[in-house]
Amino acid sequence: MFLEKIDFAKMYQEHKKATNFKGKNSKDWDEKSKDMATTALNSPYVNDFISRMELTGDEVILDIGCGPGTLAVPLAKKVKKVIAIDFSEKMLEELKEYAKKEGVTNINTYLLSWEDDWSILPKVDIVVASRSIEVQDIDIALTKISSQATKACYVTYKAGGSFVDMNILDYIGKKIVTKPDFWYIPILLYKKGYLPHVDYIDTQRASVNYSSADEFVSSLIWSVHELDETQQLKAHEYYEKFIAKKNRLPKPFTWAFISWKIN
């Protein structure tokens, strides 16, 4: 009963507004599509995610925020059909290229966002949302996910609240409000009557070959919204001291893998 006294959905929304990691629009992700297609595909994360799913091979799966097909294409090789949605046209183009290269023909794509009307989509057996639930209202998103599935849902969400290596932020003196952590999701699901399971996937951050310190600084600003002049100078220093010389590995990511059954 104690959970009923706390409005976790509102708490999430307030936390989301306060974080330095501001939401990205479709154009932002269009510009990142080529990079993501290079770094995200065929990663150990994909096998870790799929190995945690219960599959018979006859399922229809909805992949929300599918990106360049990181999960959609490998899953399509294992199940009856995949429906993939994303709000970035360029991401869907990358997915189609990836599917064509892999000889996969059982994927249907839709240009849709979390906030759009999903009535055009059919009910499916399983819904997945891999690293894609960066939404303003997590409660509504979880309701939409659950309403599309007849068997189960699988999502991953960053544990730790920062997409940027905290070693970097500490070095440059950038204090941030981290983004909402994964624990909002199982609590809200429990309040909806589900019994979610939580597991974890550890992944090494993809090595990015920045062409210059300026490119590195630009990538930081893209993530944390802004850096002052002193922080940018320290970021240049960090690049020259650690990244250019490749003498410090970035901290690994931990993703919370959250699953729940329908009915």
Residue 221: predicted pLDDT: 83
Residue 201: predicted pLDDT: 94
Residue 174: predicted pLDDT: 87
For residue 42, CA distances in Å to 122, 131, 228 come to 28, 15, 37
Closest CA to 146 of 261, 7, 20, 12: 261
Evaluate whether the domain defined by 2-163+179-207+251-261 bears CATH number 3.20.20.70.
Answer: no
Q: Looking at residue 120, what DSSP letter applies?
A: T
d(CA 67, CA 90): 9
Residue 142: predicted pLDDT: 97
**CA dihedral sign of residues 209, 226, 68, 9:** positive
Task: Give the model confidence (pLDDT) of 175-220 as tens digits.
Answer: 888 888 999 999 999 999 999 999 999 887 555 677 788 888 888 8
Q: What pTM did the predictor assign?
A: 0.84
| Coil, strand or helix at 112 | coil
Question: For the chain, which residues score pLDDT lower than 50?
Answer: 33, 37
What are the residue ranges spanned by the domains of the chain?
2-163+179-207+251-261
Structure tokens, 92: 């869907």
